[in-house]
Structure 1
Amino acid sequence: MIYDFDELIDRANTNSFKWDKYAGKDIIPLWVADMDFKSATPILEALENVTKQGVMGYWHVPDELVEVTVKRLAEHHHWDVPKEWIVWLPGMVPGLTLTCMCVGQDDDEVITTVPIYGPFMKAPLAARKKLVKVPLQLEDNRWTFDFEAIKAAITPRTRVFMLCNPYNPGGTVFTREELQTLADICLANNIVICADEIHCDLILDITKQHISIATLSPEIARQTVTLLSPSKTFNIAGLGCSFAVIPDDELRAKYAAMRYILEPMISAYAFEAALAAYRDGEEWRQQLLAYLRKNHAYILQEMNTFKGFKMLPLDATYLAWIDVREAGIENIAQKLEEAGVGISEGAFFFDGAGFIRLNFGTQTSLLQEAISRMKKVLELK
């Protein structure tokens, strides 16, 4: 089946978090990580079947979803995961907070690298932990870890390292060597890794491969909570279906018990959409990746034509991370909104001031119109 990713979907006045931010204004929203493409036909059919059944009661996880997920982890992550290791969640963000709550005591420390997706900053605080930030470093035009800084930040109270791979923002897919070095540091200091791998099926650079850090060894697997979901890949984030893979029995039991106390049950729509995505959505995903790669090439070229703008190629994700520090423009988000383009300010990503994030998971025609509007207010090189 051929999918039409060029089809314009009118999302205005639909209570869309992304589009209704600018309700009544002629602004193209390229901010939050929410694509403008229709989901795959099997997903839409699955949702329709739930509606036809007509009873919106509580659901448990379908056996077939568990089987399909285990199969996918084996095929895509080269990871043999017993189904008992999986804890189902209503979202990835709650999974971050749960990990911080389940590991260590009040006032223990959680390390993460910055800039980083906003909820990474909030999860430790919600769990009564102290947040410790370590900046990424730019090396060979690529954002990566500063291992010496990470080691220097570790104290006897460090309990968790929050990892994002592929990285948001910045799009880095970390290499096996980088992940092994991080794993060795965490093993040596008895630190649990909470690995957000939600963008792992959105690899743009075909020379790069996503590696789940938990697959490096049984030892590191026992000290890792891996968070995964079909939500970003298949554009079903609003439905809320994610899962954690937790090999350690004691940690998993604590995590699962706390999950059912603190979080809502997952809906039939979420379970059935996840099942359809993982079982029947690969054709859609491959066509999506081809479309995103073209959009990425276009945005990469255009962003680097603006004076003071610098965008590096992304390994993964549909979220361009653009350095605008040399542009010398105050209130750049406001200026772009006045031109009719809505982006995310780097400050939301904590220590990302001087950057902007632009979502190119939309129709190419909208991107072209957005670039045209930006050219009217920004100087070209």
Structure 2
Amino acid sequence: MQKPFNFESFPDRRVTESLKWRVYAEEVLPMWVADMDFLSPPEVIEALRARVEHGIYGYGIEPPSLKQAITAWLERRYQWRVSEEEILFVPSVVSGFNLVALALRAPGSGLLIQTPVYPPFLNVARQAGMKDQRLPLSRDAMGRYYVDGDCFRAALTPETRMFLLCNPHNPVGRVFTREELWTMAEACLERDVVICSDEIHCDLTYSGHVHIPIATLDEAISRKTVTLMSPSKTFNVAGLKFAFAIVPDPTLRKTLKQLVHDLGGGMNIMGIVAAEAAYTRGAGWLQHLLKVLESNRNFVYDFVRNELPGVEMQLPEATYLAWLDCRRLDLQPSPYEFFLTEARVALNNGRDFGTEGRGFVRLNFGCPRSTLEQGLMRMKRALEESRVIS
């Protein structure tokens, strides 16, 4: 009989090398970097324990069983049939999209991103020696972000060589619709622009929203797309450094494979073990996780709406990240610094996501409800004591 999964408590992370819990002072509650305060699936822990007990941790090879597990996962969840030869292992999604940029760069070439966006996106063009092209996501009167087709087409120039897509989107929490994806994909095809799609949060979507890998829209689009995925967010194994790229174009795949060999380093054997266990035996745990996260999401949304007047939030369609608009409160010197100093809660600084993120903070609700309640109450008291809200 399956033991109940534990989403209500977690071991002390300050005694480990945790980035999330060790950067700030002990009295600060960390609700920033995107890893969850939940134990990884027991099947993953058991697989890692067995591998550790073997006692030898030498260089690894690409196990065919892992590629089989990945293709089966993609077909079950997205009805996407991917051949094993199209899969390329990379250390992380971030290294993956930087390697794609290196593979595509040419004199005067441009790279397009949509802001606000996950901070490593902002550095890719510069690091690859490409022209940095940015398009702010559109927002409607209610504050919901969306893709404006006309604006997107206008942002693609003759120099644009690569479009770096984030879907589901970090930090705004959108799961782009089929229509939005078609708009972007067709425009890229018309301009011969390669799409590199960061889909690391693809498994973390909520009721009423379905993730559609952009490469599944059409065969021609698939050939012009590199899709990056990982078990890291889904199963809380980010520190094990494993991701994969789906690269249908054989020429680009060959170039990327060489770059991974030369620049990306070897595979993390523990990451391989964790990934295979997650994709073959972790679906039950994920099903329970999504219920916990959706409940937490709703709790944050209701709390912000009822207890934090002046703060605005759109309901995330995916991810475990809330994007809080604090601009009406004019918190000084910034919302991030206000909540860190006055509430002793560490959030992500919105300005790190691009110019359009100024006045925002990002809150990680991938944690037990008790932790979430504590963080939000600290934020409320800080606003009340500073007479920002009453």
Taking structure 2 as the reference length, the TM-score comes to: 0.95
CA distance in 1, matches of 2:74, 2:163: 23
What displacement does 1:175 show? Answer: 0.6
CA distance in 2, matches of 1:55, 1:230: 24
Residue type at the aligned position of 2:213: S
Q: Which 10-residue stretch deviates more, 85-94 or 56-65?
A: 56-65
The answer for the alignment partner of 1:290 in structure 2 is 291
Residue type at the aligned position of 1:346: G
What displacement does 1:84 show? Answer: 0.4
Residue type at the aligned position of 1:193: I
**Are the counterparts in 2 of residues 308 and 328 from structure 1 also a CA contact under 8 Å?**
no
The answer for the alignment partner of 2:172 in structure 1 is 170
What displacement does 1:307 show? Answer: 2.7
SS of 2:363's partner is strand
Q: Is residue 208 of structure 1 aligned with residue 223 of structure 2?
A: no
SS of 1:95's partner is helix
Mapping of residues 246-257 of structure 1, within 5 Å: 246-257=247-258
The answer for the alignment partner of 2:29 in structure 1 is 28
Residue type at the aligned position of 1:322: L
**Are the counterparts in 2 of residues 32 and 344 from structure 1 also a CA contact under 8 Å?**
yes
The answer for the alignment partner of 2:354 in structure 1 is 350
What displacement does 1:104 show? Answer: 3.5
CA distance in 2, matches of 1:342, 1:187: 42
Could you report, residue by residue, the CA deviation over 1:151-194 in whole angstroms, capped at 9, with x for unpaired residues? 22222111001101100011100111110111110000000000
CA distance in 1, matches of 2:60, 2:66: 13
SS of 2:272's partner is helix
**Are the counterparts in 1 of residues 93 and 228 from structure 2 also a CA contact under 8 Å?**
yes
The equivalent position to 1:319 in structure 2, one of 309, 318, 321, is 321
What displacement does 1:377 show? Answer: 1.2
Taking structure 1 as the reference length, the TM-score comes to: 0.97
The answer for the alignment partner of 2:227 in structure 1 is 226
Unaligned runs of 5+ in 1: none
What displacement does 1:134 show? Answer: 0.2
What displacement does 1:106 show? Answer: 3.4
SS of 1:22's partner is coil
**Deviation >4 Å, runs of 4+:** none
**Are the counterparts in 1 of residues 37 and 368 from structure 2 also a CA contact under 8 Å?**
yes
Residue type at the aligned position of 2:340: E
**Are the counterparts in 2 of residues 225 and 246 from structure 1 also a CA contact under 8 Å?**
yes
User: Percent identity among equivalent residues?
Assistant: 40
Unaligned runs of 5+ in 2: none
The answer for the alignment partner of 1:182 in structure 2 is 184
Residue type at the aligned position of 1:180: W
**Are the counterparts in 2 of residues 307 and 378 from structure 1 also a CA contact under 8 Å?**
no
The answer for the alignment partner of 2:308 in structure 1 is 306
SS of 2:184's partner is helix
Residue type at the aligned position of 1:291: V
The answer for the alignment partner of 1:41 in structure 2 is 42
Residue type at the aligned position of 1:359: N
The equivalent position to 1:195 in structure 2, one of 185, 194, 197, is 197
CA distance in 1, matches of 2:208, 2:287: 16
What displacement does 1:335 show? Answer: 2.1
**Are the counterparts in 2 of residues 50 and 268 from structure 1 also a CA contact under 8 Å?**
no
